[in-house]
Structures are given as structure tokens and as C-alpha cells.
Chain A
Amino acid sequence: MVKLAAHIEGIGLLGPGLDGWTGSVALLEGRSPYIRQPTVVPIPDGLPPAERRRIGLVVKLALGVGLQAISKAGVEPDALPAVFASSGGDGENCHEICQALSHDERMISPTRFHNSVHNAAAGYWSIATRSKAASNALCAFDWSFAAGLLEAVTQVAVDQTRVLLVAYDAPYPQPLYAKRPIPGPFGVAFVLAPVSTAPPAQAGAGGSVGSIARLTVQLGDSPADRMSNTDLESLRASIPAARSLPLLHLLAVRKNGVVNIEYLDGRSLAVEVETCA
């Protein structure tokens, strides 16, 4: 049996009150207070101007955390397979299309249409990073983070390749918001590798930091772990991509342990974390 293990080499993180992985470690550790602030989503580098004009918040979010993660890991993206996991894709764009189709005119723009595909972020990522490697675009409703992590770690372990995982979600506007209340944009990304890499003797600024932790994943039935901080718990419970927070917490405190992440009805993904010295 293949041991489903992967080494984290880089982390990207953007969410309400969470601005980058490095900038969020202290509050995930509980050393600094959580301050409620809207998610700050940067304009991603690498896209040609025409594409940059066409992308919405969701794609910026996904590219933003993905670029953070590869930068932390110090890996080149051009041959890096990627797994994109999102519960709903671009909610704003979906609303605009359904709104337009409800009228008698029923005109939608070509850009709106091609941005409506669930793999829009994967497509723009490939254009921005010139990556010709395979990418996957997944959805498993509230369990999309766990499904993405399972797919990514399986790729790492079975195909013995480095993989980028990007999980992201953003709000729908009304009236869909009332049916699917995701309160804010949240994205998380991991560069995952099949083998441990030691930090280079003289790591330059922004260069590779080597493996951060080793993850071993298996299917389980334990109830999902929660965050003790009520603000962070509220994010975890309301944004599918933020189901990653208990894992991020364990990585921030740099302790070995097991976190259970919600997966399908009542099942869980048990993730064992061993920090790399």
C-alpha cells in the first residue's frame, strides 16, 4: 500500500484578517489578536494585460495564494502539476450570467462565459506561469479542501511528483448569497513534494526554505477539529477553503499531531503532521 505522504515546501494564505502565511503565523499561534478585516487580494503578476483586465476577484485570489506558495517554496511553476479546489468558482460572474439570462434579451459576453468555467483559475494560472503541466479543477461542495488535499497528496505519492494545491472560495452576491452564505474570500495553497528537501546552506531572501512539515493523509471518521479562536472558527465553519485552518494552526505552532478535516457526510480526512527540523 502506498503511504499517502507529502512534504510541504511552501504555503500561501489570504483571507479575512489573514494576509499571507508569514503575516498570519502569530495570530494562528494565538500570540497576536485576530483583527477582522476584508481580504486583501493582490493583482497577480505574470498575466498579459488583456488577460489581467478580464479576471475577477476569484481568479486573483487563487493566483495570489498560488504565487505566494511557489515563492516561499522557491520552485519554478512551469512544470508543476496543479490541483485547484473550489466549492463555487466565480460567484459574481455566475450571478451576472443568471441575471442576464433571466431577461428577454439573454445577452452574455464571451469573457463572462469563458470565466464561468470552474477551471478558470487553473487556465489563467497556466497562462500566467507558462505551466504546461497537467492541472485539475475539483469541487466537493463543503468538502472541497479535503477533496483537493486528498487528490494532491495522492498525485504526489503515486506519481512521485511535486504538486501545487490551491483551495479557494469567494462570496456569491445576493440573491444567491442567501442560499450559499460564504462571508468572504479565502484562499490557501501548498507546494507539496514527494521527498524531504533540506534548507539550502545559504537561503537567499525569498528563496527555498526546505520542507516545512511532512503530511500523512488517511480517510477517517473522527469529528472535524475546530479552532479555539471564535473568529477563526467562524471562518472555518462558513468558508469551505477555510476548513484548512486547523491544519494551518498546527503548522503555525510547529508541533507534531493529527488534525481531522471535514470530508463528505460525517467522514474526515485525518492529516498527521510531522514538522521538519
Chain B
Amino acid sequence: MTQLLLKDYTATSCVGHGRLATLDALRAKRGGLAPCAFERAQIDTWTGEVSDVDDERLTQTLGRFDCRNNRLAQLALRQDGFTDSVAQSVGRWGRRRIGVFLGTSTSGILQTELAYRRRDPATDALPADFDYGGTQNSFSVADFVRQALGLDGPAVVICSACSSSAKVFGSARRMMDADLIDAAVVGGVDSLCLTTLYGFHALQLTSNGPCKPFDSGRDGISISEAAAFALLERVPNSLDSDAVMLLGVGESSDAYHMSSPHPEGLGARAAMLAALDFAGLEPGDIDYINLHGTGTLSNDSSESRAVASVFGSSVGGSSTKGATGHALGAAGALEAVICSLALQHEFAPAGINTRSLDPALGIQYLVENRPGRISRVLSNSFGFGGTNCSLLLGRAG
């Protein structure tokens, strides 16, 4: 496949707003999870809430998009000069030649949950100020972002649960190869809501404390929220050696179960092999794996089998969800940003909260940051419905 340049990127999660805060947290092995205090949720779990989302105000002309998910999107877009980078691309390519490909799992459903509390007691009607298309609909975040950035190219939301914002890289790559666009804003935005908190709780998949991926005592996920974006362009003739490129995308389906991964990790294995194949690389070419690593018994066990079957125990990997929590539909893009920071700042980030590594999971799991240049990294994202996506990112030199 054609390689693409990550011309700019940014992320905002519970560990901080923007790249520097994210990098600092990773280097200091600092997490952002805290006991759940979201909304009316009464669940004994920890969550990763992003600070200051409630204070974000959307510009008046985009007021119909006002909801937590789009506030989080705007907060993230404001970091790191990302909006300026997009404006430069608009100047170069034109607003019609830049696409928007975003992932989310629940979009602005929180707005609907709140509106259901405010139904008219006599008629059951939702309040007049509730805007379905601007908030609840899955497309809302892409519509908001394209208008906020003044873009007029193809726009779509990929909504495949926890693989959503990894798969957006694949769609953008194809449209770039088809010459429909010259640049793409890709990313993921997912925000806390009662649907996911109570839903994962009903499935008994939420941890009582901060999640502990790959620990023998792991007991579930810590739900979080995040927004992460990357600006993709074709690779120019000359590049800085620390430029980050998308080298491969691998996608597959489990064909197994709606909410449990294949126990042997067959779908995960197929996605990783497809990403390597696309990039024309061998397992030995990979220096670090950012694992999906949700911290559930079944995910980490199935993913370990898949990783071991492709890489043995020779490649170090970690799940950064111990620090960021599981940002669901935003996890793929958030972890692509974390991988980009690792490539540019020359270290493999540790997984935190993991005290007693599960000996049954035969992979090389990093519990300390490992300094040193890494050239190529793989990032895994898997979701409900058995949807799998692996991204392969690398340095230019």
C-alpha cells in the first residue's frame, strides 16, 4: 500500500490535554484513572474522565452540535496547533480535497440519555432543545469537525465499537490511493456516557479499580474518554528522520461471538499478519506492540495467544490502557498518537498498574519504559462484533 505521512497529530485524554502532557505522563508512568464520579453512575469502578470538557463552549454557529462528545472534540482540536496545520493543508490542497474520517462508538448518546430524563410527563415528548442529528447520531462528530475546520471533502464516521478509530486510517488510505483526496483528518472521539458504563457493568467487564492489563489479577476494563486526531498526507520527497508514517493497516473479522474475542485470537492474528503483509515487513521488523490490552480476562488471554503466534516473545509490548483507560471508539487513534510519540521520542512505553504479570500469557510485556530508538511499531484495536484492526507505524529514518 501507499505509505502516508502523519503530518501532525494530537491527543487529549485523562492523562492530559495535547502531546506534551501525554508524553510527560507516559515518561513518568502516570495514569489518569480515578474512582467513577460521572453523572448519576453508581458503579464501583474507575474511569478516565477528561478535565475541563464541561467548560468547553462551541462557537455559536455550531451550537446545534453542543454535547459532551463534540466539546471533547473541540478541546482536542485546539491543542498543539492542530487546527493551524489543517488550515495550512487547506491552503495547499483546497477544502474539497481534504476528507474527514472519524471513529466513535457512542457519539453524543449522553445527550439522549439526559433528554430521556427531561421527557414531558404528559406527552412523553423529548425536550424541544434536543437535536438528534447534531448530537446523538453517530455522524455528528464528523459533521461538527468538518464544519469547525472548514473542510468540504468526503466525510464519514466509522462506528465499529473499539476498532473504530483504527479503521479510519484504512478508509483514508483507500480514498487517498483513489485520488479522491490529498489529505485526511482522521481520528476518534468517544466520551463517557451511562450506556457504556452500565453496559460493560452488565457484562461484568468493568474493573473495581484501575485496570491492570496482563496482570494475573486483572478483573476488567476502566472506561475512559478521549479525542485524538492525525492529519494524513502523501509522503513528500524529503522528510525529517523522525517523521512518522503509516506503513500498513490490517483488518479482519472473528466470525465468532458478539462480545467475546476468539479464544485463540485468530481474528487478531489475521489482522496483525495483514498489516505486516501490507507493509511488506516481517515480524522481526517490529520493535514495539501497543496491545489492545483492555484488562479483561478474555481479551488479554486471546490477544496474547495471537501475538505469541506471530511474534513469539521476542517483541516487547504493553497496553497503555492502564494509564489512559479504555477510550473505546477513540482508543485506536489515541494509541496511534501514543505510538507516534514513542517513535519520535525514542522509547517504548510501559504498561502501568500491572504488578504481577500473568505467567500464562507468554509475551514480552513491558512494565518499565524502555529507552532507545524504535523504528516500527504495531498498534492493535479490537471490538465487539469481532472486528479487528492493526496499524503499523514507522519512522522515516
Contacts and interface: CB of A to CB of B under 8 A. Distances in A.
B255 interface: yes
Interface residues on B, range: 35 or more
Interface string B110-147: 00110011010000111000101100011110110000
A160 B161 CA distance: 27
Contacts of B124: 174-175
A128 to B, nearest CB: 9
Interface in A43-98: 51, 54, 87-89, 94, 97-98
A89 B104 CA distance: 14
Interface in B325-371: none
Contacts of A131: 253, 255
A126 B154 contact: no
Given A116-B195, A126-B253, A136-B167, A110 B156 contact: no
Contact of A139 (B157, B178, B198, B203): B157
A157 B266 CA distance: 28
B38 interface: no
B300 interface: no
A117 B157 contact: no
Contacts, number: 201
A119 interface: yes
A119 B112 contact: no
A138 B125 contact: no
A138 B156 contact: yes
Given A158-B177, A178-B126, A120 B385 contact: yes
Interface stretch (A101-109, A223-231, A253-261): A101-109
B309 to A, nearest CB: 15
Interface residues on A, range: 35 or more
B154 A98 contact: no
A258 B105 CA distance: 35
Interface stretch (A19-27, A146-154, A206-214, A244-252): A146-154
Contacts of A203: none
Contacts of B105: 117-118
B203 A132 contact: no
B142 A2 contact: no
Contacts of A112: 199
A51 B255 contact: no
B178 A141 contact: no
Contact of B159 (A51, A113, A118, A126): A118
Interface stretch (B10-18, B214-222, B226-234, B256-264): B256-264
Given A101-B194, A123-B387, A88 B160 contact: no
Interface in A2-45: 2, 4
Given A102-B113, A135-B253, A109 B202 contact: yes
B175 interface: yes
Contacts of B194: 101, 106
A114 B254 contact: no
B137 to A, nearest CB: 5
A109 B195 CA distance: 11
Contacts of A122: 160, 253, 385, 387
Interface of A: 1-2, 4, 51, 54, 87-89, 94, 97-99, 101-102, 106-110, 112-120, 122-124, 126-127, 129-141, 144, 147, 150-151, 154-155, 157-159, 174-176, 178-180, 219, 264, 267
Given A110-B203, A116-B199, A137-B159, 17 more contacts: A98-B116, A107-B198, A112-B199, A113-B202, A117-B385, A118-B105, A123-B385, A131-B255, A132-B266, A135-B160, A137-B387, A147-B156, A154-B180, A155-B174, A159-B174, A175-B126, A178-B125
